[in-house]
Amino acid sequence: MSLKRFSLALGAAMLASPAMAAGKPFFSLQNTDFVVLIGFICFIGILVYFKVPAMVTKMLDARADGIRKDLDEARALREEAQTLLASYERKSREVNEQADRIVANARDEATKAAESSKAEIKRSVERRLAAAEEQIGAARAAAVKDVRDQAVAVAIAAARDVIAKQMSADERNKLTDEAIGTVEAKLH
């Protein structure tokens, strides 16, 4: 505390003293206000002598520096937290985008697989229809052959009966000999 402030405080204390109004002399040891004023001045003097105001100021400055450091550290931590938050938000967006791409790719692949399956099923049905048509054609050909064979057999039997009724034994023997001769000529 400076001497000027101290003088002002002492002057103010003396002017506002109720002892002035009481009528007793102020500068007497009988006056309690004067004794208190002297004690107060001594106390202030001791505080100034031992440099207590400087120590208090130093302690307050140290406390202010500590608070300033804490605030700076808090700001740094806040900035770091904001950086981490921004990083996590960016990573979250990237993960969401990647998940969207994976889902889109899976949909595309599923669509392609479905189309491929449809095409394969269509080809399989076409192959089975072609095989069935071939079987039907073969069965039709076999049925026609069987009908022809039956017709030939019936025609041969009918012709044999007609020929047998119309031919004589000499003609039969002659025909048999000609057939044997024809067969021998074709075999050799």
Q: For the segment 145-168, what is each residue's pLDDT rounded down to a tens digit?
A: 888 778 777 777 777 777 777 777
Indicate if the alpha-carbon torsion angle 28, 29, 31, 37 is positive or negative.
positive
- Give the predicted TM-score (pTM) of the model: 0.39
31's torsion region: left (phi>0), alpha (psi -120 to 50) or beta?
A: beta
pLDDT tens track for 35-62: 899 999 999 999 889 999 899 999 999 9
**Is residue 175 very low, low, confident or very high in pLDDT (cuts 50, 70, 90)?**
confident
Domain ranges of the chain: 3-84, 98-187
